[in-house]
């Protein structure tokens, strides 16, 4: 393993306190679902207990499951108590937080439901709740349009006593035409400034720190271009299978689920030009410019620049794992991809000729997300006569999850009388430098939505620009002969063809096992 040179050792850097949002009522559609239990409630609990919410902050959960307010609170207790996202669960604090939780049973597909919601919100306001309303759509995508129309019919989108905003979870459509239709539907009801399309990756500390790393440090930005960088690889790997999401995944697949949003966002932040200011419009405009610089591929180009895969049975962490077609709810002859690899070219002045390699998959050998920027080799091998001259090019690695960190690899001389060169890393770890637990992504994003800061959310043209890249790939895959699935075993790095995608240019993926080992060593 490489020696690790620790950065940020010594006294912990102090993390500034999070800001406080103004009073509001958060309405969660789909509050009896998995996302609310696992992510939203732990985030809200921590925001309340760290003083980020007003004393007049309340939550109204809605769902089809019949429950009273007390039953709703009890249903969330155990999930919160065992959540790894919460910074110290306390029964007394939970009791105070739970008093803010309310529940309304109903079906958003039925028009009269929104009249009931309006009456409930007015009753809560009469008892001191805020008139500001943040609607959070945590339901299947097929219900989003009906919820938007229902809010408009009840007049809940235009709040005379305060503001009304809406948060939409991905997916934002399933192709370019459906994304456009959904955007047109929501913008008939809400102004763009009040629409918050959430991508939880954008709330992660390292993702936000990409911009700081690039634009606040003069030693990196001058070399962040085609003259010094040879290629970029982005990996988003999971050991998990489809779990209980087979119905969703059978309609979605890896490309739509991960590349169409999360990974393309990482591409944009890695490749974008410096914004004129760190505000919502300036940042999002530069991301859109990156997407516009990626030309949609033809069927022939898709065949040459993409790989799809589906996992079969295998072993992960010494435990047997079933194949995708053996998972409950999956068709026995399913052609849905659980792995996708794409080679993209950003056709602008900064990145011309620099390939961006993207891969994501389920049932791979480790769970991690990382950006690796590979720099060009030096023009001359000055130490070619030494025993260990080939120590490889420099790299910058940005670990998004787990154990968020940034590392820079470079060559150094091994101590001794011989000129032996070895690769070493300078490693920055958030946990080591700042201590404690950083806010999780949903805390950051929910708080920003409450404060009206859309910087970390996606804009209409941004979403549509992403689909302009992805939809031609999906359409080409429908025309091309499908691979023989399954074509990689659970626990592997994906199909062999994904390696050939890079080998054609003399490049290679970092094996996922080595990525995992680097994470462990850095820890």
Query: Which sequence positions are flagged as catalytic?
Result: 262
Residue 204, token pair as written in the block: 């992660």
Residue 78, token pair as written in the block: 């155990």
- List the strands of the sheet with 355-361, edge to edge: 4-7, 421-429, 405-413, 395-401, 368-375, 229-237, 355-361, 339-345, 306-309
Q: How far apart are the first and last CA of the chain?
A: 13
3-class secondary structure, 277:
coil
Q: Which residues pair with 4 in a beta bridge?
A: 425
Does residue 53 contact residue 101 with C-beta atoms inside 8 Å?
no
Contacts of 150 by beta carbon, 8 Å cutoff, 6+ apart: 108, 111, 113, 114
3-class secondary structure, 387:
coil
**Helix and strand totals (H; E) in the chain:** 17, 19
3-class secondary structure, 222:
helix
Does residue 483 contact residue 206 with C-beta atoms inside 8 Å?
no
- State the Cα–Cα distance between residues 445 and 459, nearest whole angstrom: 15
Q: Please, which contacts does 46-49 make with residues 24 or more away whose CB atoms are closer than 8 Å?
A: 46/85, 46/86, 46/87, 46/439, 46/440, 46/443, 47/18, 47/21, 47/443, 47/446, 47/447, 48/96, 48/97, 48/100, 49/90, 49/93, 49/97
- State the Cα–Cα distance between residues 139 and 37, nearest whole angstrom: 13
DSSP 162-219: S-EEEEEESPS-SSHHHHHHHHHHHHTTS-GGGEEEE-GGGGSHHHHHHHHHHHS-TT
Give the dihedral sign, CA 187/188/194/195: negative
Q: What is the dihedral of CA 245, 246, 247, 253, to 10 degrees?
A: 100
Beta-strand relationship, 306-309 and 339-345: antiparallel
């Amino acid at each position: 393993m490489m020696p690790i040179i620790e950065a940020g050792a010594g006294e912990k850097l102090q993390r500034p306190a999070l800001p406080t949002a103004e009073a509001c009522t958060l309405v969660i559609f789909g509050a009896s679902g998995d996302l609310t239990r696992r992510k939203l409630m732990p985030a809200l609990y921590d925001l309340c207990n760290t003083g980020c919410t007003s004393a007049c902050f309340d939550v109204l959960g809605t769902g089809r499951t019949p429950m009273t307010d007390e039953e709703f609170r009890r249903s969330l207790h155990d999930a919160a108590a065992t959540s790894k996202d919460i910074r110290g669960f306390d029964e007394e604090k939970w009791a105070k937080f739970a008093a803010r939780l309310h529940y309304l049973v109903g079906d958003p597909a039925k028009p009269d439901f929104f009249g009931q919601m309006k009456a409930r919100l007015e009753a809560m306001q009469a008892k001191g709740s805020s008139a500001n309303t943040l609607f959070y759509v945590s339901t299947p995508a097929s219900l989003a349009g009906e919820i938007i129309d229902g809010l408009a019919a009840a007049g809940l989108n235009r709040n005379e006593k305060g503001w009304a905003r809406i948060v939409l979870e991905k997916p934002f459509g399933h192709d370019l035409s459906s994304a456009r239709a959904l955007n047109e539907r929501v913008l008939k009801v809400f102004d763009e400034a009040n629409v918050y399309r959430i991508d939880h990756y954008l709330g992660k500390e390292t993702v936000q720190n990409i911009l700081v790393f690039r634009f606040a440090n003069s030693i990196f930005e001058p070399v962040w271009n085609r003259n010094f960088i040879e290629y970029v690889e982005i990996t988003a790997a999971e050991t998990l299978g489809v779990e209980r999401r087979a119905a969703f995944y059978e309609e979605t697949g890896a490309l739509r689920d991960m590349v169409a949003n999360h990974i393309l966002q990482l591409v944009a932040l890695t490749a974008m030009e410096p914004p004129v200011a760190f505000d919502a419009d300036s940042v999002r405009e530069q991301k859109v410019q990156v997407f516009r610089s990626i030309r949609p591929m033809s069927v022939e180009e898709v065949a040459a620049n993409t790989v799809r895969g589906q996992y079969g049975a295998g072993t992960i962490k010494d435990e047997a794992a079933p194949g995708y077609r053996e998972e409950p709810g999956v068709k026995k002859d399913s052609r849905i991809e659980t792995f996708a690899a794409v080679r993209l070219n950003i056709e602008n002045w900064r990145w011309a000729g620099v390939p961006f390699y993207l891969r994501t998959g389920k049932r791979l050998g480790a769970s991690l997300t990382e950006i690796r920027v590979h720099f060009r080799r030096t023009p001359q091998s000055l130490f070619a006569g030494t025993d260990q001259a080939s120590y490889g090019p420099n790299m910058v690695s940005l670990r998004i999850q787990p154990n968020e960190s940034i590392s820079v690899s470079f060559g150094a001389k091994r101590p001794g009388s011989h000129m032996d060169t070895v690769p070493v890393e300078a490693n920055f770890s958030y946990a080591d430098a700042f201590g404690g637990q950083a806010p999780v992504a949903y805390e950051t994003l929910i708080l920003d939505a409450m404060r009206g800061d859309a910087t970390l959310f996606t804009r209409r043209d941004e979403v549509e620009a992403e689909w302009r890249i992805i939809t031609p790939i999906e359409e080409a895959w429908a025309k091309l002969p499908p691979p023989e699935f399954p074509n990689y075993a659970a626990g592997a790095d994906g199909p062999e063809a994904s390696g050939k995608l890079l080998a054609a240019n003399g490049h290679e993926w970092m094996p996922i096992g080595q990525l995992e080992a680097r994470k462990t060593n850095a820890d």
